[in-house]
Structure 1
Amino acid sequence: MPPKHPGLPPADTANVTATQVQARLREAAALHQKGQLEQARILYEAVLKLQPNNPDGLYLLGVANAQTGNPQTAEKLLRRAIAINSGNANYHYALGGTLQTLRQFDDALAAYDKVLHLKPGLPEALSMRGRVLLELGRFEEAIACFDALIALNPKNPDAQNNLGLALRALKQSDAALAAFDAALTVSRNRVDLHNNRGLALMDLGRPDEALASFDRATALAPRDAESHYNRGNALLDLKRHEEALTCFDMTLALKPDSATARNSRGLALQGLARFEDAIQSHRSAIVLNPDYADPHINSGVSFLSLTRFGEALASFDAALAVDPANTAAWIARGNALQALKRFEEAIQSYDRAIALGAHNGDLFANRGGALRALSRLDEARSSYERALSEEPDLEFLNGAYLHLKAELCDWQGMPVGLGQLAREISESKNAAAAYVVVRLIDDPALQLQAARRWTQTRFPGGRRSFAPRAPGEKIRLGHYSADFHAHATMFLMAEVFECHDRDKFELIAFSFGPDLDDGMRRRAVSAFDKFIDVTAMSDHEVAELSRDLGVDIAVDMKGFTTDGRPGIFAKRCAPVQVSYLGYPGTMGAEYIDYFISDPVATPRTNLTDFTEKIVYLPNSYQPNDSTRVISKREFSRAELGLPDSGFVFCCFNSSYKILPAQFDAWMRILKAVEHSVLWLFEGHPAAVSNLRKEAEARGVSAARLVFAARMPLDEHLARHRHADLFLDTLPYNAHTTASDALWAGLPVLTCAGRSFAARVGASLLSAVGLPELIVSTQEDYVAKAIELATDGATLAKLRLKLQHNLAMAPLFNSKLYARHLEAAFEAMHSRRMAGLGPDHIDVRA
């Protein structure tokens, strides 16, 4: 039984007067004010037992229940009080507070409106009304309340703070900052004000100033979890990931059940490239709050970084199961699907994000990449253009857009665009992927800058030590490629693999490309001692496998080209790592030790334009398969779309290699050589159409451009018989296509540029003994082409010389090439065994 209060009569309540009841209420209220809520509550209940409809008793008991965690009971009592006396503003005010606790904000708003009807301008009611409007997302109306309060008292810090919160919610962060600053002039040591000021500064993209505010908050309240959390997020924005991690660890020490802090901690670990740890942190956030979408998304991002694309997709799907309208999850899902080469589905995910209102540049840029992969180049261009309109300074977007325009031979604005791109790269901006610069700009220094930026942003590497190796064993060569099938790389390299000295070398293939059952794939499998399909493995797992297998020299045959996996090399899969054949330029990566070249492709004056040490092979760096078959099929000119007579210039390079200056030179040649035609590879229909238009614009009939469709390699080689001269491109030369022409007996004319990719043609021609077909200016290029087209005797002599040299010159001597390449590998290995770092290597002929 509850104790009886001694002031009440023991049994007879009929004679209790109103004065006595009021005295008891005053006594209870005094206890209430002293914080003795349980004793006060007992007195209130005793009063109401005597007078059940006493409105003040109902009101005060309601307040006591609200204060002791019984808001439902409080609401009933307060509504009974109001039913008896609806004109008491205090009753409505207390009801409003109780309804706020119950998160019945619309009803709470009605209660405060009643208070203000009864007592217009009451500051406390204005304040609470504004807070309820904040909860309801009715920010403009909330601002009106806080403005009214500030008009009554400009030095009201609560009103200024709440005004700032409403303004910040409306993304009026400058005005919000001013409100928080006004509040701080009155209350300099309020932790919440410093935190709110910092958050407004974060909204404004001023994380350094925000950090100062959070520093003040943590100094005032060293054990305030929210302040440490906010400070960590500012450090994240500043990319000070180690310090951010410390902040989140402090937050969690103070508040272990904070799912948001665990999520942000995962982001700090991502920034430190500790992706496995990041996933664990995000998973712990999900355990605390399974309906929190962000850690699902962020764990997916870590899986993407680990090239565990299937798990990434599952994470994004989990996020969408929690929040189907989460645009970030739809975008990330598209990225995972694109990594899995499920491009149609990726586009559907991006389109879903757009339908939900997303419009950030990354979304449209990635969507453009998926469309490009499907050869839907016109749509891709539109998507890139939308990305540029949303975020003109988005990293690497400008370069991707210009490269796409080059693929389409859409040259409007191209010279200006390339000039701007070069300026941005020279200013150390992330303007273009490394491969874009190699293809579009003949400047080795700019290519180096772009490669460094690309590597640091996308494929940062760490250090790793390797145990000493026992001498005398075979050198284990690991070759890493997606192209162990009918692909240009295998057309060049297959015979070299077969010619390696197995007494000295053990060959291991790490294949992360399609498992196609074709002749080149079968040759590759049989050429290696071990052939391992690592397509489903992460970069980390491939690197770990390589180390477990004891690979001495890891050869990256892809670099930054399509389907390349530089991340394997960033993990240091072998003590010596080499860039070879696939990527025609520096990778700008400290973890790539050597780049295999030759003295023509990389003059010694260009050594400073590489982070790698250069290995100089004595002839061309490029191998060639001397067993390639040329079909005996005899094509007629008509079958190939060529006129019955007239000189045939040809270039079977991809369309992105044809830039305006090169095309200008070609049109000058056609104008000078009557009845001649230019035979080109038939790429995208839009590129064909644009080239025809560009020819007409230069006064050359579009009919003089003939386009060659794809056909089997042996037949493609055979059709070269109907061409008279192959015209190389600048700044990105023909590589395999030039070797194809030479192997088919077709002379190649090249203009040597400054960078590696612009000197490949010169390298090949030097190795096949035709240096007279190398020129150094576009003027000489045009003049030489015209001379050869109009001097049949000179051209015939060149053809005879080429036919003779095919059997004698080193370009197509795979056995000789293999010996030189092995000498290079032995020199690299010897330096490592001697404890020496990489250095330039000259292989003697």
Structure 2
Amino acid sequence: MPILLFGSRHLDLITGEKTTTIRKIWKKPLSQGDRLHCYWNLVSKERKKLFEAEVTDVEVTKFADLVKNDELACEEGFNDASELESEFKKMYPEHTSDESLFQVIRFHKLPMNEWEGAQINEKAMITKRADILFDVGKFDKSVICYSAALKIDPDDVYILNKKGDNLSRLGNFQEALKCYDQALRMEPDNGYIWNNKAIALLNSNRPEDALKASDNAMEIDENNLIVLYWRGFIFEMLGRFDDALKCYDKILDLNPNDPEAWNAKGNLLSQIDRAEDALECYDHSLELCLEDEPDASTWNRKGNALMELNRFKEAVECYDKALSMEPDNEIFLSNKGVAFMELNRFEEAVLCFKKVLIINPNNGDAQILMDECLENL
């Protein structure tokens, strides 16, 4: 019973597009008609069965010929033959002389009712792989897996929603909306999906439609913190700042220890020229974040609020806090430079702008500000 182990990079196994693999020749080479048992080799203690297959063809080739065949290398999942050569030398360090023999195995995936061994829950296996890829931010790959799972069960609401989330993160909002709409036809009372639809509509520059989707989510659960947070952001995009503040205040009534809500409220208050109130919000956010981990962006925004109040020395201290976490952030450095300018500390401002230009020589604003400082030295 020949067993083939595949690395998780071979996602085309899931879609059925991969029907070839290359392995060093075995003591008993494969033959046409042999049965293969194929597994993910995720980690040595957790091998997951993929499928069973039948060998349709086997070709034996020398390593010297293999490393010249770009087409075959691409079938194996490499960009070209040179990449295959590099990887195979790592995989088979004692089997890469010119005369070393490899077998090019072509196979046909068998339907589950023809398997010899134990059958699997194929949809669950593919969905788990998709979830892992989603969680590590490989959205282009996870969407392939979710699409494959939906071929098995086109009406799975969880998978439809996750595929929509993937597509949204890839910027394909129209296709994401199709997924959410299909899911909502089956579960119209799913507030979580209504909220995801609202986010996709907002990102599609359709804030009025986003608000309607948010209305549906609110009818289902008016105290859902995530729905309230995004509803506040939708109101901001519509210029309805009082309504946005009500959303953030409601979140903070329900959970006074939500740093994101304090931060969002602070950003909005800064936007409507209520810097003192914004400062109070940023302080709350920072207190909560510091219990967990520091937040550089909030320190920067607090610095900006202090600048609006002409409290430049305190602003510099905030920018220093932000820069201690992100020392090469050109925005933080520029803000600190401007604060030094307001304090007439032009030499220190020049140093900030110089560092910005080292990080990004195309930052025209930093160049102009530095030139202005030099004129005042």
TM category (shorter chain) comes to: 0.5 to 0.7
**Whole-angstrom distance in 2 between the partners of 1:112 and 1:193:** 26
Q: State the partner residue of 1:214.
A: 282
**Whole-angstrom distance in 2 between the partners of 1:69 and 1:42:** 23
Q: Is the 8 A contact 2:347 2:373 kept in 1?
A: no
After superposition, what is the alpha-carbon deviation per residue over 1:424-482, rounded to whole angstroms, capped at 9, x for unaligned?
A: xxxxxxxxxxxxxxxxxxxxxxxxxxxxxxxxxxxxxxxxxxxxxxxxxxxxxxxxxxx
**Structure whose CA Rg is larger:** 1
Alignment of 1:688-727 (within 5 A): none
Alignment of 1:86-101 (within 5 A): 86-101=154-169
User: 2:309 aligned with 1:241, yes or no?
Assistant: no
Q: State the partner residue of 2:150.
A: 82
Q: State the partner residue of 1:111.
A: 179
Q: Is the 8 A contact 1:66 1:74 kept in 2?
A: yes
Question: 1 or 2 for the larger relative contact order (CA 8 Å, sep ≥6)?
Answer: 2
| 1:286–1:157 CA distance, 2 compared to 1 (3 A) | farther
Look up the SS of the partner of 1:257 in the other structure: coil
Find the partner of 2:247 among 172, 179, 186: 179
**Whole-angstrom distance in 2 between the partners of 1:254 and 1:151:** 41
**Whole-angstrom distance in 1 between the partners of 2:178 and 2:256:** 34
Q: State the partner residue of 1:225.
A: 296
Q: Is the 8 A contact 1:263 1:282 kept in 2?
A: yes
Find the partner of 2:235 among 157, 163, 167: 167
Find the partner of 1:43 among 33, 42, 48: 48
Give how far 1:283 is off. 4.2
User: 2:259 aligned with 1:188, yes or no?
Assistant: no
Alignment of 1:386-785 (within 5 A): 538=375, 540=377
Q: State the partner residue of 2:197.
A: 129
| 1:99–1:190 CA distance, 2 compared to 1 (3 A) | same
- How many matched pairs? 282
Q: Is the 8 A contact 2:190 2:220 kept in 1?
A: no
Find the partner of 1:270 among 341, 351, 363: 341
Return the letter of the residue paired with 2:48. Answer: L
Give how far 1:126 is off. 1.1
Find the partner of 1:151 among 216, 219, 224: 219
User: 2:273 aligned with 1:205, yes or no?
Assistant: yes
Q: Is the 8 A contact 1:41 1:61 kept in 2?
A: no
Q: Is the 8 A contact 1:275 1:305 kept in 2?
A: yes
**Whole-angstrom distance in 2 between the partners of 1:78 and 1:121:** 23
Q: Is the 8 A contact 1:191 1:220 kept in 2?
A: yes
Give how far 1:69 is off. 4.1
Q: State the partner residue of 2:368.
A: 300
| 1:249–1:51 CA distance, 2 compared to 1 (3 A) | farther
Give how far 1:168 is off. 1.7
- TM-score normalized with structure 1 length: 0.31
| 1:160–1:140 CA distance, 2 compared to 1 (3 A) | same
Look up the SS of the partner of 1:43 in the other structure: strand
Q: Is the 8 A contact 2:303 2:319 kept in 1?
A: yes
**Whole-angstrom distance in 1 between the partners of 2:152 and 2:111:** 13
After superposition, what is the alpha-carbon deviation per residue over 1:667-721, rounded to whole angstroms, capped at 9, x for unaligned?
A: xxxxxxxxxxxxxxxxxxxxxxxxxxxxxxxxxxxxxxxxxxxxxxxxxxxxxxx
Q: State the partner residue of 1:141.
A: 209
Q: Which has the higher strand share?
A: 2
| 1:267–1:154 CA distance, 2 compared to 1 (3 A) | same
Give how far 1:101 is off. 3.1
Q: Is the 8 A contact 1:58 1:80 kept in 2?
A: yes
Give how far 1:44 is off. 5.6
| 1:264–1:54 CA distance, 2 compared to 1 (3 A) | same
Unaligned runs of 5+ in 1: 4-12, 17-23, 29-36, 307-537, 541-845
Q: State the partner residue of 1:623.
A: none
Return the letter of the residue paired with 1:72. Answer: D
After superposition, what is the alpha-carbon deviation per residue over 1:377-402, rounded to whole angstroms, capped at 9, x for unaligned?
A: xxxxxxxxxxxxxxxxxxxxxxxxxx
| 1:104–1:182 CA distance, 2 compared to 1 (3 A) | same
| 1:80–1:189 CA distance, 2 compared to 1 (3 A) | same
| 1:247–1:45 CA distance, 2 compared to 1 (3 A) | farther
Alignment of 1:303-382 (within 5 A): 303-304=371-372, 306=374
| 1:245–1:192 CA distance, 2 compared to 1 (3 A) | same
Give how far 1:157 is off. 1.4
| 1:224–1:305 CA distance, 2 compared to 1 (3 A) | closer
| 1:59–1:237 CA distance, 2 compared to 1 (3 A) | same
| 1:163–1:40 CA distance, 2 compared to 1 (3 A) | farther
| 1:100–1:289 CA distance, 2 compared to 1 (3 A) | farther
Q: Is the 8 A contact 1:62 1:77 kept in 2?
A: yes
Return the letter of the residue paired with 2:267. Answer: L
**Whole-angstrom distance in 2 between the partners of 1:84 and 1:224:** 43
Q: Is the 8 A contact 2:300 2:318 kept in 1?
A: yes
Give how far 1:79 is off. 1.6
Q: Is the 8 A contact 2:201 2:209 kept in 1?
A: yes
Q: Is the 8 A contact 1:41 1:64 kept in 2?
A: no
Return the letter of the residue paired with 1:45. Answer: L
**Whole-angstrom distance in 2 between the partners of 1:233 and 1:39:** 52
After superposition, what is the alpha-carbon deviation per residue over 1:308-337, rounded to whole angstroms, capped at 9, x for unaligned?
A: xxxxxxxxxxxxxxxxxxxxxxxxxxxxxx
Give how far 1:167 is off. 1.6
| 1:242–1:38 CA distance, 2 compared to 1 (3 A) | farther
Return the letter of the residue paired with 1:225. Answer: A
Q: Is the 8 A contact 2:357 2:366 kept in 1?
A: no
After superposition, what is the alpha-carbon deviation per residue over 1:314-373, rounded to whole angstroms, capped at 9, x for unaligned?
A: xxxxxxxxxxxxxxxxxxxxxxxxxxxxxxxxxxxxxxxxxxxxxxxxxxxxxxxxxxxx
Q: Is the 8 A contact 2:356 2:366 kept in 1?
A: no
Find the partner of 1:61 among 102, 125, 129: 129
Q: Is the 8 A contact 1:252 1:262 kept in 2?
A: yes
Give how far 1:304 is off. 3.7
**Whole-angstrom distance in 2 between the partners of 1:82 and 1:226:** 39
Q: Is the 8 A contact 1:47 1:57 kept in 2?
A: no
Give how far 1:209 is off. 0.7
Find the partner of 1:280 among 351, 354, 360: 351
| 1:236–1:299 CA distance, 2 compared to 1 (3 A) | farther
Unaligned runs of 5+ in 2: 7-33, 54-108, 113-120
Q: Is the 8 A contact 1:207 1:238 kept in 2?
A: yes
| 1:116–1:170 CA distance, 2 compared to 1 (3 A) | same
Look up the SS of the partner of 1:45 in the other structure: strand
Q: Is the 8 A contact 1:139 1:169 kept in 2?
A: yes
Give how far 1:290 is off. 5.7
| 1:242–1:71 CA distance, 2 compared to 1 (3 A) | same
Q: State the partner residue of 1:380.
A: none
Give how far 1:95 is off. 0.9
**Whole-angstrom distance in 2 between the partners of 1:40 and 1:166:** 47
| 1:219–1:288 CA distance, 2 compared to 1 (3 A) | same
| 1:68–1:42 CA distance, 2 compared to 1 (3 A) | farther
Give how far 1:171 is off. 2.9
| 1:539–1:140 CA distance, 2 compared to 1 (3 A) | same
Return the letter of the residue paired with 1:118. Answer: M
